[in-house]
């Protein structure tokens, strides 16, 4: 038996004249963690679906366990030990953990009578494989994202998995959950299971994988040992572009702060918070999950009402009791989960951009000014370089980066004074990430005040001028972005070896 578990050779695939794969190659060794990287639309997902039997390649071939294939069915792929964990985990949210874990085994056995004792035994065996502690009777919809993911991994292991493909497995996980997932992946590797880790997050790729393959525009760009790469080279291979980011330096700052917070307190979330942000600057706020950072900015946007303290807008005290109060004061908020909180996915780009200012684009009796709407939408699509065939295509058809630009366009169309972004580049590829950072710098240079909340420490340093670090509901340090490092910010966030100087 050879050392190569999966070998892909010259696979091509087209959809309606659009060539998704242009003759790609890939080799995965037994027991290795291999990263498949590339920007959105580069062909990663298409190749995964060919390997798992969902799609048939137009040409090319592959070998699994030394057995050659031109095409493979889903069941053949599973029988060869290939399991795919997609971003949505393909679980039944209304069923229990036990039912989710055992249902496929029951169906495969073609049993006609449900035996809950047998199902519990199957589920118990599944969770024991990785030491996953969970209530088997709990509905999956009540689990955290990380717990759903671990459930999907347990289910995969029931089928004697030899290769587990994880498609963007950390997209919705916290740093702590990512660390726990990586421990599980290492454990699987120690048992001889290969992992194909599909991602575009450079720090995670370097941390978890030994070898890599990078696609761009449906073609192989580079493959080799991850240890031989650095961040800049990896980014260039993925995008074909050179990036050089340094911390943002304001051109000029407004004399009066756009927003000032004085001794804000929200019981159970944060206490005695004071800071200000001026027009022309990008203020970063970071800290671990539970530090109070999100509750703080959601208070500024009217989602929460503080128990005490005062907010000033351009030097004047204001009371922000609800979201509409914040919007009327020129504050916009981009949430961390654009899919469930920031966008109307089935609706077209045009409606998503103008939804927050329809009153200004309407005549009497609510009749829309369609020409004005078209002009407004086209202007923002051009301004933010939103890649779309037409303004009326559903926003769910766009890449993550372009979806994020649509959310930004919605708020920028409202003549903002302050833009708050919570996780501004979550789930977007590296090229779009740099584009968004460049856009934020340009908006700040035009005089907009910006607050960026993120636990992506390289991002916080790269696109801000000043950083507030929160821990346990307090600001424990204020530091200039150009005077700190990722390591120092991490230590301040956790309190390891640091003195509080706020």
CATH 3.30.70.890 applies to domain 331-415: no
Q: What is the pLDDT, as a whole number, of residue 499?
A: 55
Q: What pLDDT is recorded for position 186?
A: 94
pLDDT score recorded for residue 498:
56
Pick the closest to residue 132 from 156, 116, 112, 160 (CA basis): 156
pLDDT at 502: 47
- Phi and psi of 21, rounded to 5°? -125, 130
Residue holding tokens 């302050």?
A: 418
425-461: b or e for each residue (b if 16 or more CB lie within 10 Å)?
bbbbbbbbbbbbbebbbebbeeebbbbbbbbbbebbb
- DSSP, collapsed to helix, strand or coil, labels residue 13 as strand
CA distance 469 to 495: 10
In this chain, the answer to whether the domains covering 245-330+449-502 and 331-415 adopt an identical fold is: yes
* Total-model pTM: 0.76
Q: How do the domains of the chain map onto residue ranges? A: 4-239, 245-330+449-502, 331-415
Q: Give the pair of three-digit tokens for residue 131.
A: 């030491």
User: Please, are residues 74 and 54 in contact by the beta-carbon 8 Å criterion?
Assistant: yes
Architecture of domain 245-330+449-502: 3-Layer(aba) Sandwich (3.40)
How far, in Å, CA of 119 to CA of 95, rounded? 13
Whole-angstrom distance, CA of residue 100 vs CA of residue 56: 28
What is the spatial distance between Cα 83 and Cα 164, in angstroms, rounded to a whole number?
5
pLDDT at 342: 77
Calpha distance 237→223 (Å, rounded): 10
Residue 90, pLDDT score: 80
b/e 350-373 (16+ beta carbons within 10 angstroms → b): bbbbbeebeeebeeeeeeeeeeeb
| 91, 100 contact by CB (below 8 A) | yes
Sequence-separated (6 or more) residues with CB below 8 Å from residue 386? 349, 380, 398, 402, 405, 406, 409
Q: Which helix (H) or strand (E) holds 461?
A: helix 457-463
**Contact of 298 with 304, CB cutoff 8 Å:** yes
Other residues' Cβ atoms within 10 Å of the Cβ of residue 320: 22
pLDDT score for 497: 62
4-239 architecture in CATH?
A: 3-Layer(aba) Sandwich (3.40)
Residues of the chain where predicted confidence (pLDDT) is lower than 50: 500-502
Which among 445, 444, 467 is positioned nearest to 457, based on CA atoms?
467
Lookup: tokens for 211: 């070898």
């Amino acid at each position: 038996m050879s050392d190569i578990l999966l070998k892909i050779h010259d696979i091509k695939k087209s959809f309606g004249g659009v060539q998704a794969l242009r003759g790609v190659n890939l080799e995965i060794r037994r027991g290795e963690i291999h990263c498949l990287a590339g920007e959105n639309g580069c062909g990663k997902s298409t190749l995964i679906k060919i390997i798992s039997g969902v799609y048939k390649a137009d040409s090319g071939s592959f070998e699994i366990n030394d057995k050659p294939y031109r095409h493979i069915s889903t069941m053949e792929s599973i029988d060869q030990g290939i399991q795919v964990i997609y971003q949505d985990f393909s679980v039944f949210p209304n069923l229990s953990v036990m039912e989710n874990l055992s249902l496929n085994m029951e169906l495969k056995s073609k049993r006609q009578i449900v035996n809950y004792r047998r199902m519990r035994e199957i589920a118990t065996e599944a969770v024991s494989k990785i030491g996953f502690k969970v209530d088997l009777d709990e509905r999956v919809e009540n689990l955290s994202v990380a717990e759903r993911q671990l459930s999907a991994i347990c289910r995969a292991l029931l089928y004697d998995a030899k290769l587990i493909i994880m498609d963007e497995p950390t997209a919705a996980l916290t740093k702590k959950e990512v660390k726990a997932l990586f421990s599980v992946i290492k454990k699987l590797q120690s048992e001889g299971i290969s992992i194909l880790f599909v991602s575009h997050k450079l720090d995670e790729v370097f941390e978890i994988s030994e070898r890599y393959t990078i696609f761009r525009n449906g073609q192989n760009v580079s493959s080799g040992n991850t240890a031989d790469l650095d961040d800049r080279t990896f980014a260039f291979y993925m995008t074909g572009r050179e990036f050089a980011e340094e911390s943002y330096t304001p051109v000029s700052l407004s004399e009066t702060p756009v927003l000032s917070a004085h001794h804000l307190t929200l019981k159970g979330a944060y206490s005695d918070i004071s800071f200000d942000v001026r027009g022309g600057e990008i203020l970063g706020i970071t800290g671990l999950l539970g530090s109070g950072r999100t509750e703080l900015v959601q208070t500024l946007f009217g989602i929460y009402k503080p128990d005490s303290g005062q907010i000033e807008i351009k030097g004047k005290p204001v009371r922000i009791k609800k979201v509409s109060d914040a919007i009327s004061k020129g504050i916009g908020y981009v949430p961390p989960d654009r899919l469930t909180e920031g966008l109307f996915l089935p609706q077209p780009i045009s409606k998503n951009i103008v939804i927050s200012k329809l009153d200004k684009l309407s005549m009497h009796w609510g009749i829309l000014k369609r020409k004005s709407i078209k002009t407004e939408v086209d202007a923002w699509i051009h301004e933010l370089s939103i890649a779309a065939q037409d303004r009326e295509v559903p926003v769910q058809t766009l890449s993550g980066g372009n979806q994020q630009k649509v959310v930004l366009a919605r708020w920028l169309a409202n003549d903002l004074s302050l833009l708050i972004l919570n996780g501004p580049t979550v789930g977007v590829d590296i090229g779009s990430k740099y584009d968004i950072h460049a856009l934020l710098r340009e908006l700040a240079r035009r005089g907009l005040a910006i607050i960026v909340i993120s636990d992506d420490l390289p991002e916080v340093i790269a696109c801000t001028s000043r950083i507030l670090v929160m821990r346990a509901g307090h600001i424990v340090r204020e530091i200039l972005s150009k005077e700190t490092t990722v390591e120092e910010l991490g230590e301040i966030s956790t309190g390891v070896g640091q003195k509080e100087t706020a």
